[in-house]
Structure 1
């Protein structure tokens, strides 16, 4: 993961505080418990809503970075990190502020649990500068960086334009919700993949985009049945690209697309060869 630009930003923002944003569930449980025990004074949970207490360990946490020179070392120790935030608040205050993002309210007035700090959600939220909650959620944040598949990139956060903001609750309008609400197939395949150990090799922040790309590959292969597309994507994410590109599978794709054969049967037969 390329971190040069991120480290340069850290050197430039000398007056800012730095937090690493991580998810407890992305680590082996024993490792994360040790990490928490050793750094309890500078780790702050974003799951502050009473109903999220049981999921606190697996949820998002801020880790205070004491100086810019530590950042590269912590990124190496925690390659699963989902964000780096430069700000001007005490770590516990920033955690309390960002906790509102974990429980947004949909256009149907339903409270949902959200990984709002992932690229797919954070970018549309950051552009909602006219809303009252934008002024609270992003205040005192100078820069926010998130990983993609190859490097760390900065999220553009426009200045809030709301006048006299009073409401902290993240109420998402219909247009923004349509941008961040996952297609059912994306959510299903992503959940299945994240239940497997192979997903832990990738940052949680990029797993959604990888899932979408895998599903797009399935569609480009001509698969029309949702079960076949989902299986193709899951096999691809699990490292099965050579199997999917094997002669046996490639020759069978037209029949699979026409519903004459099932992808599952073709894959099992190809593996037995």
Structure 2
């Protein structure tokens, strides 16, 4: 295989991984952007949504049913949690949210283990996804190509909604001045609940789509939440463009690092984060404090 073929393959795999990381991280960014809450249970929702999607896909023998079920279940779980617990803490300091979301992550992880057990799980994918797509004469798994198109399309749609729709205007207004938005007659509580549910749904969606590549396992959320926090730190807290760029940078570091220097691939990710924070403490697209 020629060097350009290697780089093409690695670049395409980078985009596939970046699409998964972006779907996970954009949910975290959405919640932080409007609610100023760092959701430590995001990784647990990533796992819970994945397992729920796997069960739905197996029950109905349809990958696509699972693709719908995973974000719906994760979003519903997040909505119930926000309604019962988090809504009563909005006037408290940030440490309250840190503790309660961390506790929720532990409880949700244990609940996942109790419901589905400790064995690994996979999901049946459509037969067509077992084929390959030829790009510049090089074979590339069709499922990974699907991830690139689907993942970045969903991310683009979310950005359009946030920038162009009335709902997006309300979300941005609440993130900047919730008191004034409430004074104008907007039900801030409903918008916050919806935002939290959508953010959690993105975690479940990302988890389900990752299963054909990594297989579902108890604890898969731990690695996911670490990656998502690294991406948020690199891209900038609350920045959707930062989430996308950070996802690509982390995916490239992991993909190329695993190929060329596998023993140091994980270290490179943290070196990248440190280098960015040294020169841009707020992240590449974040606001300087």
Do the two structures share a fold, i.e. TM-score over 0.5? no
Q: If you compute each CA radius of gyration, which structure gives the higher value, 1 or 2?
A: 1
Task: Give the TM-score, by structure 2 length.
Answer: 0.28
Task: Give the TM-score, by structure 1 length.
Answer: 0.29
| Structure (1 or 2) with the greater strand fraction | 1
| Structure (1 or 2) with the greater helix fraction | 2
